[in-house]
Amino acid sequence: MPELSFREAINQAIAEEMERDDSIFIVGEEVAKYQGAYKVTQGLLQKFGEQRVIDAPISESGFTGLGVGAAMVGLRPIVEVMTFNFSLVAIDQIINNAAKMRHMSGGQLKVPLVIRGPNGPAHQLAATHSQALESIFAHIPGLKVVVPGTPKDAKGLLKSAIRDDNPVIFMESEVMYGLKGEVPEGEYTIPLGKTDVKREGKDITIIAYGKMVNLAMEAAKSLSSDGIEAEVVDPMTVRPLDDEPMIESVKKTNRCIVVSEAWPFASVASEIGYRISSKAFDYLDAPVGLVTAEDVPMPYNKILEHNALPTIEKILNAANSVLYKK
Amino acid sequence: MSDYAVQTNTEEYLSLGRNKLVEMYHTMVLIRRFEESAAKAYSQQKIGGFLHLYIGQEAVAVGSIAAIHKEDYIITAYRDHGHAIARGTDPRILMAELFGKYTGSSKGKGGSMHFFDAERKMLGGHAIVGAQVPLGTGIAFKAKYRKEDAVCLTYLGDAAMNQGAFHEALNLAGLWKLPVVYIVENNMYGMGTAVERASAVTELSKRGSAYGIEGMVADGMNVFAVYDAVKEAAKKARELSLPTLLEVRTYRYRGHSMSDPDSIYRTKQEIEEEKRRDPLEQMKKFLLDEKIATQKEIDRVDEEVKQTVAECVEFAENSPEPPLESMYDDIYVQ
């Protein structure tokens, strides 16, 4: 299987889907002439022309709303936000318009829209530019929220997101764009709302998604050298959340930690923790542990920043804690 | 009576034909009686939530929609009863929606502020002030993208012009030359705040100039003035793919919503003064003066509307409540 970067995998997904369906267009800041702020849209302008690859002025509320409107009448827009930090200026369009349109119209309308871009902390960008916002979107009925952790998943899930008839929030990561991984050749899709077991193990379940999948895999390796086999479970889509494989895993391992780089309060991690606690209550040998970002706005200082995020050490400590090793 | 577009194209209006002209009058009367009836049902607590009445502004919806084709799109804010009725939605399902019934246009999930009729390209009913303006712009984008011979009428209130979403959308429409007609229904107040207390520039049509969008002004109490202006703006959108910012000066007779203590921010005298420009009376006078309809025929229209509205209420009252499990429907396309 060829190795592709996360960036290339997403680019391929967009290009393949645009080739297949001319109702798809992409709009966002610097997506066309500049070839993408993070080069994700490289070459798309040359391939599809300026009618379908459209540079927008810096006005997220305007062009996100335009995407919602175009989707209401049959187009399939991909709205790129340069980062999800900036989606906050378009939050009314996303929550009140994109998510609720179908319900509010009694099923008369649909909004086949993908809003995608990098999410989560990057390096030393401080509080406004380093935050994982998936819990906010996952809170909203009517939205689907996808947070892939590998190039292969990113490509297959994005293709499904583009074909989905619902508004999908698709969250990537600046610091993962260069990450390489095996990506199958040829056409494939990965369905939304399906949890994937990334590593099998019998002693502890580590649930992680997005960038944190890679950290969890590293932690699993480290645990393995101590004779503890961790099962790494990746929901990939955080709404709708396919919790069945998580429950099944915990029934086997009896111990569980959840890793997320978002804040802990009212979060995807706490939701997963709640579901495990209520649906696998009789199987748990320890309370579900959460390893999340610290409950603070992201500081600029490198050392503070590192310590505000989940780390291998924090994952290992949490694992040892539910294993009553320390 | 009017210091805006003067009604001079009598010949052209007559060419619309007797049926169309009487139908326009019929629709205006229907909107008014429908809403009077809704207000009554609201006071009887058969309708809940917010109820924003359009009474006084009927000429805007009727005149503008008469000037476009059935392939064109419309989208508006929360004061949306008139637009849906003018677009031809069955008023019975609209009344049922106000009553929250399962037979309503949104199966009882939308209510007064969220009327939709996808089949007639009436794309809502939107209740966050100004948030529908980017949507209407996106609908016009689709028309251009697909090379449709269609325009999107995007209605908003005067107060929505101070929202960021409005400005971002107008910049995109000006920049990308989208076939959209923004119709600002200036009824002089955003809730209780007069235009001059909210907008640094009170000649609202000029506020498009920052985005290279031509402004127009029309008398919103005169159905033909609205018709003329929208026809011209829609032609420009259709043929040249250019947006227009059309301000129509109108007036709502009732409060902002049913709970509005009307007397705090405007005088009774002002309301009575504005009622002298009543759009229904003006239209009726035109029909009689031009001998398009007799008083007897006018009376028949009034009688028919009375009957229709009674049927609407009866239909709504006799319709079932939505089943409990229906709250889970229509959240996602499966």
Q: What is the pLDDT of residues B92-133, one digit of tens each?
A: 999 999 999 999 999 999 999 999 999 999 999 999 999 999
Q: 0.90 exceeded by the pTM?
A: yes
Q: Which domains does chain B have, with CATH numbers?
A: 10-316 (3.40.50.970)
Residue B8 pLDDT greater than 70, yes or no: no
Give the C-alpha distances (Å, rounded to integers) separating A47 from A35, A40, B151. 12, 14, 29
Q: Is A64 in Cβ contact with B330 (below 8 Å)?
A: no
Which residue of chain B comes nearest to A58, CA vs CA? Answer: B168
CB contact under 8 A, B331 and A144: no
Q: Which residues of A touch B106 (CB under 8 A)?
A: 104-106, 108
According to DSSP H, which parts of A21-164 are helical? 44-48, 60-72, 91-92, 101-104, 126-129, 134-138, 151-163
Higher pLDDT residue, A119 or B264?
A119
Interchain proximity A74–B116, CB inside 8 Å: no
Is the pLDDT confidence value at A152 over 60?
Answer: yes
Amino acid at A233: V
Q: Is the model's pLDDT at B5 over the cut of 50?
A: no
In the set A16, A30, A129, A248, the catalytic residue is: A129
A80 catalytic? Reply is: no
Contacts of B175 in chain A (CB under 8 A): 57
Q: Do domains A3-182 and A196-322 have the same CATH topology?
A: yes
Residues in chain B closer than 8 A to A167 (CB atoms):
none
> Mind listing the pLDDT tens digit for each residue in B154-197?
999 999 999 999 999 999 999 999 999 999 999 999 999 999 99
Asked if A97 lies within 8 A of B131 by C-beta distance, the reply is yes
CA distance A311 to B296: 84
Tell me the per-residue pLDDT of A283-326, one tens digit each, with 9 for 90 and over: 999 999 999 999 999 999 999 999 999 999 999 999 999 999 86
pLDDT beyond 50 at B1: no
CA distance B22 to chain A (A): 31
- What does the domain layout of chain A look like in residue ranges? 3-182, 196-322
Q: Is A193 on the interface with B (CB under 8 A)?
A: no
- Provide the CATH topology of domain A196-322: Rossmann fold (3.40.50)
Q: Closest approach of chain A CAs to the CA of B10, in angstroms?
A: 37
Task: Report whether the peptide linkage leading into residue A240 is cis, meaning its omega lies within 30 degrees of zero.
Answer: yes
From A57, A62, A164, residue closest to B134, measured CB to CB: A62
Q: Do A72 and B145 touch (CB under 8 A)?
A: no
CA distance A311 to B142: 46
pLDDT over threshold 50, residue B4: no
The pLDDT value recorded for residue B259 is 81
Distance of CA A175 to the CA centre of its chain: 13
Please identify which residue in the block is written with the tokens 């089949």: B119
CATH number listed for the domain at residues A3-182: 3.40.50.970
Q: What is the pLDDT of residue B245?
A: 98
Residues 6+ apart with CB under 8 A from A20: none
- Is the separation of the CB atoms in B244 and B47 below 8 Å? no
ipTM value: 0.96
Task: Find the closest chain B residue to A105 by CA distance.
Answer: B106
State the pLDDT at residue B262: 72
Sign of the C-alpha dihedral, residues A80, A86, A90, A94?
positive
Average pLDDT over residues B318-331: 98
- How close B30 comes to chain A (CA, Å)? 23
Residue A60 annotated to the active site? yes
Average pLDDT, chain A: 97
**A157-182: average pLDDT:** 98
pLDDT in tens, A60-104: 999 999 999 999 999 999 999 999 999 999 999 999 999 999 999
Mention every residue, 6+ apart, whose C-beta is less than 8 A from residue B263: none
Task: Tell me what pLDDT residue B7 has.
Answer: 56
